[in-house]
Structure 1
Amino acid sequence: MSEAGKTSYRAVLAVPHALSTFAAALVGRLAYGVVFLALVLTVSRSTGSYSAAGAALALFGLTSSVLAPYRARLVDRHEARRVLLPMAGLCSALLAGIAVVGWQSGAHRFALWVLAAAAGGCVPPLGAFMRTLWARLVPDEQLLQRAYSLDAVGEELLYVLGPLLAGIFTAFNKPALGVAFSAALLLGGTVFLASSPAAANTDPAADPDSDSPDAAAASASRSLWAGTGLIDPVLVTGGLGLCLGALDLLVVAFAGAHGSTAEVSWVTAAMAAGSAVGGLLYGARSWRWSLRARLPVLAVALGLFCAAAGHAGTMVLFVLAAAVVGLLISPILTTAYLISGELGAIGRGTEASAWVNSAFNAGNAAGAAGIGLVLTHLSLRWCFALAGAPLLVPAALVLARLARRDGGGDGDAEPSGSTETAEPSKTPGTPETTIAPSDNIHALS
């Protein structure tokens, strides 16, 4: 087999247990793509109030995002199936409860709010756990980049397919079926994922690296932020979330000002397609730059493209601009998850990935709310520039830290995703990474 063939996407899925494990994870994660719209439609239909539906969605999203790193920490500390299966069972039962309560009109909104908050609080971290499994399944760093790119693209497509499935149930006048369907997907996908031979090898007690100096230091500090460099992907993905959350509203405003809001679907489709193409192209390429150098450069590029999109004079140009913006979404997420995945070497990969994901989700919600406050006071061009700014600021901070470190200052010594770094210690089944101590790092969630 050629060198290119050894590191192709086909080679990723040819790794023993990779295809079946990834498919199970995608089935479970599809539930998250379905449940958000299904929950809104169910609560609004049963209570007759969009404000009640918005509150239910906010409660579900809030408890899910805020508690995600702590649920992921349980997965890192205990055998995965002993944690994931109870979470999935409880969350599915609560979602089924929402479907039952919301099946008929006249449902009590408080009961739906309590169920939604509780369901969000026990959502299993399937995405974060799958990325931990990728780091165990694939044999080398180049193949791991392709695996993470494939994962990011797959997740992007799930959030396109999910609302379509929720809409089908609504077309039959039973949106609560969408919530019940998401419960079934979540439970079924998690059962198959936890039953995978790959997941069976994640018992921390059997981790050959659990007695390493890095693992001991991490256990003693009880912190992911001391010397790990997790601050970089958390900052950048939080900025990405802010940017995309603002764009969700700005796309509607631009379409209304330059044509019809019905054309929004073309913009979102172009952005999703661009993200899928960009992710696959990014993962297929061998990069000379390290992960930490790539991350801020990609963020700056997306922030500038976002600002430039506001200058499009027609919907055709705007759709093209949205596709260009989309090209960089999956690459940024892939790079961020690769960096956080380096903490898998000290048994904290799932939790680190969950922090990155929570930063993105929190930023997304804040971006939509924040841009709504200024949209009526500023022109669309200025609003698009503001939407891109949250990526430029963290990128500048990360670049400054890299420059300070490379200049021999007191910056943080960080692991690198480049194959050109010094030889690290290698643990079977784990990608080559280095985690060096540093003087000071702190971060947002």
Structure 2
Amino acid sequence: MYAAVLRTPYALRTFGAALLGRLSYGTVSLSLMLAAEATTGSYAVAGTVMAVFGAASVLLSPLRARFVDRYGPRRALTPMALGYAALLGVVAAVTWRPGAPGWLLVALALCAGAATPPLGPTMRAVWSRLLPDKRLLQRAYSLDGVAEELLFVSGPLLVGVLVLGAPAALGVALSAGLVAVGTLVFVASPPVGSVVLEGPRRRERARVVGRIGHPVAVTLGVGVALGATDLLVLAFAGDRGRADTAAWILAALSAGSAVGGLVNGAVEWRIPARSRLTLLTFGLAAALGAAALAPGLLALAAAVACVGLFVAPALTTAYLIADEAVDPGLRTQAGAWVNTAVNAGSSGGTAGVGLLVGHLPLSVCFAAAATAPLLAGLATTVRRAPRPAPVAPSSPTGVRCAE
């Protein structure tokens, strides 16, 4: 099943290198926050550093993806990764001891976030070129999504182990090393060099967002739900005097997502991808709505795990739809827009539900969070499906890239 994906020539080598680089994204957030707080003694500065870094990384993602489509991964990713790693190295150096000025950390975080290499979308575009068989491509995307979920769980754990006996800046330095080594090995893989470049089709570039409006809108709703869930779980556990259990409940969300992703990749779906994405979104909304009825922590963990069952399948399906909707030379940008929608929705969901917590019962807040994916799914069902873009014939020996 999944072995067939990894047995594809160069697949394991390329995927492994991409995962090594992407592990940096699992370690960098916590490392930056801890390092900024340790050197300045201010949680406000640490929060500002993280907010600036995250905003620059998320909002500029489509632009960086466009560079990859335009110039190819080797010419675009290499300077991005080395510049990003160098900036993180400077952050590690200035935060190694107390006394770094907050304004300097904010400026460095802004520059580093702007240079974040789009390894995830690029790898997904490489998958689409390596695996012209749609069934195998679905499995590859599912495997990719599950692996990414595990990276974001294991990354903070790795940082936690590191900072037990070393400055938090070591985690920042580790993040720099991971992305530099992983990206260099990734772009050296033969398939990554065989890309379909974007070319000068400005009109087609302008249509990217229009063609992928459905998956972008739905994943925005999914992101809102996920961001809200993180804060609501913490509030729920805190209200019961067990704030320490929040991490385990959120781990159930990740576990559910991993299981759902693996099952999704193993099933040969007969339902069209657009309809499947809408149904998955409704399922996620229903599971999150059920969390509003949870009487205790165990019931909440079970409900959140059910929410997770729909997360990876929904995101995988969204990436597949975006990949098929655009010209081959624009696939990195298409994937980046979906990725940006999830991350932006997550930030918005956390901020939005933060305004509700404390003013409304948590059950009402959970129900409100469930309306985001529900409304996104309902809104997209009444929209006319866009005509698919013409797709050039694929060759099993070449590869396109995505963020």
- Give the TM-score normalised by the residue count of structure 1: 0.86
CA-CA distance at 1:226 after TM superposition: 6.8
**Contact 1:73–1:350 at 8 Å: present in 2 too?**
yes
- Mapped to 2, the partners of 1:425 and 1:87 lie a distance apart of 28
Deviations 1:36-92 (Å, cap 9, x if unpaired)?
000000000000000000000011111111111001001001121011000001000
Alignment check: 8 A CA contact 1:234 1:355 kept: yes
Residue matched to 1:3: none
In structure 2, the residue matched to 1:121 is 114
Relative to structure 1, the CA distance from residue 203 to residue 142 in structure 2 (aligned partners, 3 Å threshold; closer, same or farther) is: closer
Identical-residue share of aligned pairs (%): 46
CA contact (8 A) 2:65 2:118 kept: yes
Alignment of 1:329-408 (within 5 A): 329-343=311-325, 345-401=327-383
Equivalent residue for 2:386? Answer: 413
Question: Which of these residues, 101, 105, 122, is aligned with residue 112 of structure 1?
Answer: 105
In 2 relative to 1, CA 10–247 (structure 1 residues): closer, same or farther, beyond 3 Å? same
Asked if residue 428 in structure 1 is aligned to residue 401 in structure 2, the reply is: no
Specify the SS of the correspondent of 1:124.
coil
Contact 2:326/2:391, CA 8 A, preserved across alignment: no
Letter aligned with residue 319 of structure 1: A
Distance in 2 (alpha carbons) for counterparts of 1:133 and 1:239? 27
Quote the residue 1:295 is aligned against: 277
**Is 1:152 aligned to residue 135 of structure 2?**
no
| Distance of 2:315 and 2:279 partners within structure 1 | 13
Distance 1:317 1:428, change over 3 A: same
Question: Out of 295, 301, 316, which is 2:298 matched to?
Answer: 316
Alignment partners' CA distance in 1, 2:275 and 2:380: 9
User: Quick one: which amino acid aligns to residue 386 of structure 2?
Assistant: A
Are the aligned partners of 1:132 and 1:344 in contact in 2 as well (CA < 8 Å)? no
The reply to whether residue 243 of structure 1 matches residue 225 of structure 2 is yes
Distance in 1, matches of 2:341 and 2:216, equals: 6
Tell me, yes or no, if the aligned pair for 1:43 and 1:52 is still in contact at 8 Å.
Answer: yes
**Residue of structure 2 equivalent to 1:202:** 195
Aligned residue in 1 for 2:310: 328
Residues 1:131 and 2:124 aligned together: yes
State which drifts further: 196-205 or 130-139.
Answer: 196-205
Alpha-carbon spacing, 1:157–1:288, altered in 2? closer, same or farther (3 Å): same
Per the alignment, in what secondary structure is the counterpart of residue 100 of structure 2? Answer: coil
Corresponding residue number in structure 2 for 1:408: none
**Aligned-residue offset at 1:259:** 4.8
| DSSP 3-state at the match of 1:139 | coil
Mark the CA change 1:430 to 1:241 in structure 2 (over 3 Å): closer, same or farther.
farther
Contact persistence 1:227–1:412 (CA under 8 A): no
- Opposite residue 413 of structure 1, the aligned amino acid is P
Whole-angstrom distance in 1 between the partners of 2:282 and 2:343: 20
Pick the aligned partner of 1:83 from 73, 76, 81: 76
Separation in 2 of the partners of 1:45 and 1:161? 22
* Deviations 1:378-414 (CA, angstroms, capped at 9, x unpaired): 111100001111101110011112xxxxxxxxx3434
Ranges in structure 2 where 5+ consecutive residues have no aligned partner:
399-403
How many angstroms apart in 1 are the aligned matches of 2:51 and 2:338? 20
- Using the TM superposition, give the Cα deviation of residue 428 of structure 1 relative to its aligned residue in structure 2, in angstroms: 2.3
User: Partner letter of residue 204 of structure 1?
Assistant: L
User: Equivalent residue for 2:50?
Assistant: 57
- CA positional deviation for 1:318: 1.2
User: Offset of 1:232 from its aligned partner?
Assistant: 0.8
Residues in 2 aligned to 1:343 and 1:200: alpha-carbon distance in whole angstroms: 23
Work out whether 1:185 is the aligned partner of 2:186. no
Which position in structure 1 is the counterpart of 2:135?
A: 142
| Residue 401 (structure 2) aligns with | none
* Cα deviation code 1:128-167 (max 9, x no counterpart): 1000000001130000000000000000000000101111
Q: Is residue 101 from structure 1 mapped to residue 113 from structure 2 by the alignment?
A: no
Unaligned stretches of 5+ in structure 1? 1-7, 211-215, 402-410, 417-422, 432-445
* 1:275 CA drift (Å): 0.5
Give the TM-score normalised by the residue count of structure 2.
0.95
Which digits, 9 at most, give the CA deviation of each residue in 1:209-234, with x for residues without a partner? x7xxxxx8x53343134762x00111
Shift of 1:415: 3.8
Q: What residue number does 2:40 align with? A: 47
CA displacement at 1:270 relative to structure 2: 1.0
- Please say if 1:168 is aligned against 2:166: no
Shift in CA distance, 203/349, structure 1 to aligned 2, threshold 3 Å:
closer
Structure 1 stretches of 4+ moved >4 Å:
none
Q: Is residue 340–residue 353 contact of structure 1 (8 Å, CA) maintained in 2?
A: yes
On the 8 A contact 1:139/1:430 being kept in 2, the answer is: no
Letter in 1 for 2:206: S
Aligned-pair CA distance for 1:126: 0.2
Alignment CA distance shift 1:343-1:196 (3 Å)? farther
Q: Between Structure 1 and Structure 2, how many residues are aligned? A: 398
Quick one: structure 1 residues 148 and 430, their matched pair in 2 at CA, closer, same or farther if it must change by over 3 Å? Answer: farther
- 2:203 pairs with 199, 220, 224, which one? 220
Could you say what the CA RMSD is over the residues aligned between the two structures, in angstroms? Answer: 1.9
**Contact preservation (8 Å) 2:61, 2:336:** yes
